[in-house]
Amino acid sequence: MAKQRKKKRRAPPEPEPVSKGAAEKARGSGFGGYLRWVTLGTWKAADARALAYRQQRADAGLGPDWRPMVTLMLGALVLTALHYAGKGQGFDAYVQAFVDADWTADPRSPIYQANEKLWWTCWRIGGYLVLPALFIKLVLKEKLRDHGLTTEGFRSHLAIYGACLMVVLPLVALVSYEPTFQNKYPMYAFAGRSLSDLLWWESLYALQFFSLEFFFRGHWLHVLERTMGSQAIWAMMVPYCLIHFGKPWPETVGAIVAGLALGTLALRYRSIWAGFLVHVSVAVSMDVASLIQRGEFPTEW
């Protein structure tokens, strides 16, 4: 009697995003309808996809999806490394152990401060962007564009991000009068020395924000949504809030709101680009507002 071949278990297909036609049909009229469609509509659609995905895995006889677990573990290691090695104390320890140069004698000097901020930025690009990108390509075997980097439909949802920016900018102007705010920003102490210093710092700052958006609102959301649905937004928001500890408390509280809002929009539109632009615009405006309030905005190169 011929031996029966054992059927190979196949992983269920990826959860499909809501089609454009179905999404437009579900969208209500007016601002209230749009807001419900963006929030409740996004959450319900994500929950439905996750439920179908989990059921497909159960029907196929598959166990828990390993990808969210490994992604979260890798993320925890990244955040730990950035906290202990990717900040000022990590740079100080590195300089003391491996660098023998005259500029290391004064930690308050411009060159020391510039190198420290370069260290800070490179660690965040490596941890938030490079390492996850390698994980996506080599382990998950997926496309980077599917993790929030698609530009499809970018113009169609740019208005909602513009509205968010119009709400936040007046708040930035308001808090810029606070001494704690002025003492914190810009994070590069010599950003007000010249326009070239300011431009150099804001360029590094922008690269860091792109990496951060990819990590939290691109990679994490894409992987976690498969099984967690809309709860992936709330799970992402917690560590995103925690990385703001040490900053002025209004900014930390605002990170909760921003994490939920930008996470919901990223999940709805499958893209981080508009959110990245909003994040950078707010960050740069905070630096500029602080320099103006202190009378230190540079006018020469």
Which of the residue ranges 17-21, 105-109, 215-219 would you say has the lowest mean pLDDT? Answer: 17-21
Question: For position 11, what pLDDT does the model report?
Answer: 52
Residue 3 lies in a domain: no
Q: Could you tell me if 150 and 271 are in contact, meaning their C-beta atoms sit under 8 angstroms apart? A: yes
Residue 18 lies in a domain: no
Residue type, 260: L
d(CA 221, CA 215): 9
Alpha-helical segments (H) within 1-143: 20-26, 30-36, 42-59, 66-84, 88-98, 110-125, 131-134
Residues 6+ apart with CB under 8 A from 48: 229
For residue 200 the two structure tokens come to: 């150099």
Minimal CA–CA distance to 89: which of 132, 126, 129, 123? 123
Alpha-helical segments (H) within the chain: 20-26, 30-36, 42-59, 66-84, 88-98, 110-125, 131-134, 158-175, 179-184, 195-213, 221-228, 231-242, 249-269, 273-293
Question: For position 144, what pLDDT does the model report?
Answer: 94
Residue 132 lies in a domain: yes
Which of the residue ranges 31-45, 61-75, 110-124 would you say has the lowest mean pLDDT? Answer: 31-45
d(CA 286, CA 195): 16
Distances (CA, A) of 12 to 62, 155, 159, 223: 9, 33, 36, 15
Residue 249 lies in a domain: yes
Question: For position 20, what pLDDT does the model report?
Answer: 47
Q: Domain of 88?
A: 39-50+65-293
Residue 229 lies in a domain: yes
Q: Kindly tell me if the per-residue pLDDT of 7 is higher than 60.
A: no
Which of the residue ranges 68-72, 175-179, 187-191, 276-280 would you say has the lowest mean pLDDT? Answer: 175-179
Minimal CA–CA distance to 70: which of 14, 12, 9, 138? 138
Residue 172 lies in a domain: yes
d(CA 136, CA 67): 10
Give me the number of domains the chain comprises.
1
Question: For position 10, what pLDDT does the model report?
Answer: 53
Distances (CA, A) of 114 to 111, 184, 247, 279, 298: 5, 16, 20, 23, 17
Residue type, 45: A
Residue 165 lies in a domain: yes
241-270, pLDDT tens digit by residue?
999 998 888 889 989 998 998 999 899 888
User: Phi-psi bin for 250: left (phi > 0), alpha (psi -120 to 50), beta?
Assistant: alpha
Q: Kindly tell me if the per-residue pLDDT of 8 is higher than 70.
A: no
pTM of the model: 0.85
Average pLDDT for the chain:
86
Question: For position 23, what pLDDT does the model report?
Answer: 47
What share of residues in the chain are helix, strand, coil (percent, to 5)?
Answer: 75, 0, 25
